[in-house]
Structure formats: C-alpha cells, structure tokens
Amino acid sequence: MRTLLNIIWLIFAGFWLFIGYMLVGVVLCVLIITIPWGIASFRIGLYSLWPFGREVVAKPTAGVGAFVGNVVWVILAGWWLAIAHIVSGIALCITIIGIPMGIADFKLVPVSLMPLGKEIVSTRGGAFDKTLTSR
C-alpha cells in the first residue's frame, strides 16, 4: 500500500515539491554561509519525494542552535515552501483518492517551516531501515 501511495504521490505532488526544495537548496548552497540550510532543504526534498513509510521525528540533541537556524530558515525559504504544501494539499483533498496524500502534505507543513533539529526515520523498523536516518 505504501508503494502505491508513494507512486501516486510522486506523480501528483512529490515531484513538484521535490523540485522546489532542490531549487531552494541550490540557491542556499550558492550563498555559502547558508549551506546548512541548503543541506536541510535537500534532505526534506528527498523526504517529500517519497514520504510514505518514513516519518520525521525531533532529534534529541537539537538545541537553541536549531531553533535560531529555523527562524532564519522561515525567513529565507520556509514560508513559501509551507504555502506550496498547503496549496497542493488542498488540491489533493478535492478527490476522495487524494485525501490520504493531502493529509500527508499537511503533515509536511511543520517540517517545511522548521527542518533543523529533525531527522527522517523509517516506520518499518528493520535493521537496514535504521540506516535511513539523516543528520
């Protein structure tokens, strides 16, 4: 079921959101001082490409630096990425089959606003899946 949802997600929303995150990541990496935010954009972009079967959890080691970084992120790129998630979530919820994907899109809004201090983990729980966590 996850694979089917991911394929439908990829076609209708995931690819376009991925492109948005990659563009933001490239711009932030070009500016050199904002490379940590660019890396976070790449990480969340890959998650937005194939979200079912993975989830975002708070990193226990995140502190004040992550909070300050998230404030800068919201100013630089987070607000318009969150708007993109809201718009695509509403569009997906128009059809019955798109409702689960629209809900997944709305779940990405907090992560698009505050990506630092979070990590992406698999919900499957196997030994291999523990290597999917990102920094």
Instruction: Please give the Cα distance from 36 to 28 (Å, whole number).
Output: 8
Q: Domain ranges in the chain? A: 2-132
What does the alpha-carbon distance between residue 121 and residue 131 come to, in Å, rounded to a whole number? 8
With 90 as the cut, is the pLDDT of residue 1 above it?
A: no
The DSSP secondary structure of 80-117, one letter per residue, reads: HHHHHHHHHHHHHTTSSTTHHHHHHHHHHHHHHH--TT
- What pTM was estimated for this model as a whole? 0.81
pLDDT 10s digits, 41-71: 999 999 999 888 888 888 888 788 888 989 9
Q: Are 23 and 81 in contact (CB under 8 A)?
A: no
pLDDT tens track for 86-120: 999 999 999 888 898 899 899 899 999 998 888 88
CA separation for the pair 71, 8 (Å, rounded): 33
Q: 124 pLDDT exceeds 80?
A: no
